[in-house]
């Protein structure tokens, strides 16, 4: 009986030691994992987004501060709901009610105007800085930006001059889009609206809502 009890106590002690060792190992592993996550979070917090691509889509669309390379900080509206190519779009133009006047002069388009929560143009200076880090709007290369007070081109067709009532990257001949054109409440029989020709193969179909945004190519 004593021998049996002795064996039982030995087994119980060994089992308790094994449980303790196993528990200790789990605690050590958990501590290491906690330290690793803490260091990872610290690194992430130190990394400042250079555009909306660096902001995780789970945070939701809204106004964020980005830190483009070589300059300070810029407040932008990030579209994190449109998940094309992974999401993280930096919005630089939005129109949806027509309350904001887009037929402005050069300085306004240079610096930006409007409300990031409503209708706005981010600003050519900011747009240049952001796109210089990624894809530089190649389709608009060599097309000068023109406003009503700074005509950087001369139209080959005089009628083109009156078609446009909003600044854009214009070219010498009449063209196929101007999302900064005059905001019209309904379809116009004239030119000069907020249009995108390829949408319905027409210059006269005015768009009610537009959003222009860019995303860095990773």
| Domain chopping of the chain, boundaries | 1-47, 52-214
| Confidence (pLDDT) at 119 | 96
Give the tokens for residue 177.
């889009």
Does 160 or 67 have the greater pLDDT score?
A: 67
Single pTM value for the model: 0.62
Confidence of residue 49 (pLDDT cuts 50, 70, 90): very high
Instruction: Indicate the pairing of strand 113-114 with strand 120-121.
Output: antiparallel
What CATH superfamily classification does 52-214 receive? Gamma Fibrinogen, chain A, domain 1 (3.90.215.10)
Q: Supply φ then ψ for residue 99, to 5 degrees.
A: -75, -25
Sign for the pseudo-dihedral over CA of 101, 210, 196, 86: positive
Q: Does residue 185 carry a pLDDT above 80?
A: no
Distance CA 20, CA 16 (A): 6
Sign for the pseudo-dihedral over CA of 165, 169, 173, 179: negative
Q: Spell out the residues 6+ positions from residue 143 whose beta carbon is closer than 8 angstroms to its own.
A: 169, 170, 171
Q: Does residue 136 carry a pLDDT above 60?
A: no
Q: Spell out the residues 6+ positions from residue 93 whose beta carbon is closer than 8 angstroms to its own.
A: 120, 121, 122, 179, 180, 210, 211, 212, 213
Give the residue-averaged pLDDT of 62-77: 89
| Confidence (pLDDT) at 93 | 95
């Amino acid at each position: 009986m004593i021998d049996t009890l002795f064996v039982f106590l030995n087994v119980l002690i060994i089992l308790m030691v094994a449980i303790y060792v196993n528990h200790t190992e789990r605690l050590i592993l958990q501590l290491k994992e906690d330290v690793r996550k803490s260091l990872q979070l610290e690194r992430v917090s130190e990394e400042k987004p250079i555009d909306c691509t660096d902001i995780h889509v789970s945070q939701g669309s809204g106004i964020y501060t980005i830190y483009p390379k070589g300059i300070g900080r810029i407040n932008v509206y990030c579209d994190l709901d449109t998940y094309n190519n992974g999401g993280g779009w930096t919005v630089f133009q939005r129109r949806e009610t027509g309350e904001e006047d887009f037929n402005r002069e050069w300085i306004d388009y240079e610096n930006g105007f409007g409300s990031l929560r409503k209708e706005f143009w981010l600003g050519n200076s900011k747009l240049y800085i952001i796109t210089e880090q990624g894809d530089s709007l190649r389709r608009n290369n060599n097309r000068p930006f023109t406003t009503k007070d700074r005509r950087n081109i001369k139209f080959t067709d005089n009628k083109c001059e009156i078609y446009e009532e909003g600044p854009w990257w214009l070219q010498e001949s009449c063209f196929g889009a101007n999302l900064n054109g005059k905001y019209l409440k309904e379809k116009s029989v004239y030119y000069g609206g907020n249009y995108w020709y390829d949408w319905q193969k027409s210059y006269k179909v005015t768009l009610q809502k537009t959003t222009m945004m860019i995303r860095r190519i990773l």
